[in-house]
A and B are shown apart, each in its own frame.
Chain A
């Protein structure tokens, strides 16, 4: 077995009270000195009693007097009215002690308001909260746009998270935005393994790490840290750089999400199979999503791509793999020998009309504004539309705040990297089976997708219902035990418990048996023990199916049509005893 490295804690944070004490040293000493001098002076100065005899004040009386005078309570002159000399001294000490108190209290408040002190308190509270977590949780590093989109979606599913981000504003959104659960957040640098350790990397309930910072390097370091400290823990990391992606794969097997890469992949799917694309984009939007409008399918022909950075390179790769002619416009393209074959490169700034005219937009089918600047992309789209109104327009939106502008431009194919990454990670985390379905589905072609979409519309309407997984094991489907070993038709399983002639509003999307998948299984497919079935449908069909799976009496009716009383006595009296595993086996032998 591999030895597991542990993150050594740099001295389990000393109690914050020591920090306060250290800061309070000077004010407390000043206060003690002032008190000591005042009391001492008061005992030295001679006073008078009522008869005029000289008396000296005792230490106890002096301390008592100074205590109430210094705290500005003031009970008067005791035990005898003071002499002039005593009053002179007391006047001086009043000012001294008030200053001393003000200094001490001021320092204490300043310490409590101090940033270092509050950070220390926050860190302690965070460490305690994380340590007390007993449910499985995800460690999310980087809580910017993508992180927040993903966080809200996962929170709606009831998943727990711990957040680490180096920007205080991002962590503050955890307190401001509405969440169902309390999400602990820490302002810290994800590059530091200790911070990840504090955030629960070594916690037994940590079920995965998601690295979503803007900085690819940080995501790489997070993926490396997890692979070294907790090998085998699932990691999902976002990056836009192929080089970083390559380096991430060197450590363990992280799931790398590259939104720039995906854009081209989806564009290709949409080019060949618009319905497949429609189906997958509907499913990744999650429960409650309206069916997206079909939009314009991208056209085959010559494509013009502005910007040949990380995004442009990936897109051009995908387009030319499809055999499309591509014209690239970039102010500083790579040297001639590094350019991909079959791609025409125009050197120059695309926002200059003369350069854009050189790309012959009138003869092109598609246009993609893919620079890193939103203003440039918008003006490029406008210019391209003027040159050729029938162009298929794609664009990259870099800043979330510009969403209304891109919306108003009615772009045919918009890339918002943060949203794309969040959706993809959500699909992977919420239902891993759904992700597998989405990966394998495009291979079945457009016809199949049209058919499935029609079925989904018929059963769910235009609003997507929940997507869920059913595992046919004794543990998760105890009601099915008597029938599972000889197989159950999907069509029989998906009947309503109230009236078995009616079918449940659910569409089976995929059947997973061992490691083999059957996409869109028919009603005639037979299920056996251990199978996993991915379904999409309505919430009430999901509850009905759970009833069928867990209640033997319901299962008996749904599968065979035989009605059996619920109670044991009623079953014995009427002689209608539910099928057990043995009797089901015997009847199958008889048959």
Chain B
């Protein structure tokens, strides 16, 4: 068992679970989607991305790509949230909440692919 693998797996999974936690619940109800959870998801996703930097294998490249997609979706969700709370006069309307949550839903899909890749990697390289 290597510590590096533990940390890597931990962050990849945590990124997916936090994302899931934020996403779950009625799409348009702001009360069901905690902004702290979104913040944590963004930070953990960024860390997971950096952990995937510089891996030259094919699976490493796909790993990095999925993480970049998740980052992009989550940052888009954050920007929508900032627009709704800071710039728009209407505040967190059900429509705004729905778009933030659905963007994070896209990130969740990417994170699930990431987890799937992690599992595949583990099963194919179990001898190492």
Contact = CB atoms under 8 A, between A and B. Distances in A.
Nearest to A22: B54
B53 A60 contact: no
A14 B58 CA distance: 12
B51 A59 contact: no
A349 to B, nearest CB: 60
Contacts of B86: 58, 60
A58 B54 contact: no
Contact of B50 (A18, A32, A43, A58): A32
B56 A18 contact: yes
Contacts of A518: none
A112 B57 CA distance: 23
A544 B95 CA distance: 89
Interface string A5-40: 000000000100011011111001100110110011
A18 B47 contact: no
State which size class the interface on A falls in.
20 to 34
Given A59-B39, A60-B85, A21 B54 contact: yes
Contacts of B47: 29, 32-33
A292 to B, nearest CB: 60
A56 to B, nearest CB: 11
Contacts of B54: 18-19, 21-23, 25
Contact of A32 (B46, B53, B55, B82): B46
Nearest to A23: B54
B51 A25 contact: yes
Overall SS of chain B's interface: helix
Contact of B85 (A19, A22, A28, A58): A58
A29 B86 CA distance: 29
B51 A29 contact: yes
A460 B127 CA distance: 80
Contacts, number: 45
Nearest to A21: B53
Given A59-B35, A60-B82, A24 B43 contact: no
Contact of B39 (A14, A24, A25, A40): A40
A291 to B, nearest CB: 62
B53 A39 contact: no
Interface string B66-85: 00000000000000001001
B56 A29 contact: no
A256 to B, nearest CB: 43
B53 A22 contact: yes
Contacts of A33: 43, 47
A24 B54 CA distance: 9
Contacts of A39: 39
B24 to A, nearest CB: 20
A136 B43 CA distance: 56
Contacts of A23: 54
Contacts of A29: 47, 50-51
A152 to B, nearest CB: 42
B53 A36 contact: no
A19 B53 CA distance: 9
A60 B38 CA distance: 12
Nearest to A40: B39
Contacts of B39: 36, 39-40, 43, 59
A539 B82 CA distance: 79
Nearest to A33: B47
A28 B71 CA distance: 15
Contacts of A40: 36, 39-40
Contact of B43 (A14, A18, A32, A43): A32
Interface in B26-53: 35-36, 39-40, 43, 46-47, 50-51, 53
A29 B51 CA distance: 8
Interface of B: 35-36, 39-40, 43, 46-47, 50-51, 53-56, 82, 85-86
Given A18-B54, A22-B54, A25-B50, 12 more contacts: A23-B54, A24-B53, A25-B54, A28-B53, A29-B47, A32-B43, A32-B46, A32-B50, A35-B43, A36-B39, A39-B39, A43-B39
- The 10 A-B pairs at the shortest CB distance, nearest first, are namely A22-B54, A36-B43, A21-B53, A28-B50, A21-B54, A60-B82, A32-B46, A29-B50, A18-B54, A25-B53
Interface of A: 14, 18-19, 21-25, 28-29, 32-33, 35-36, 39-40, 43, 58-60
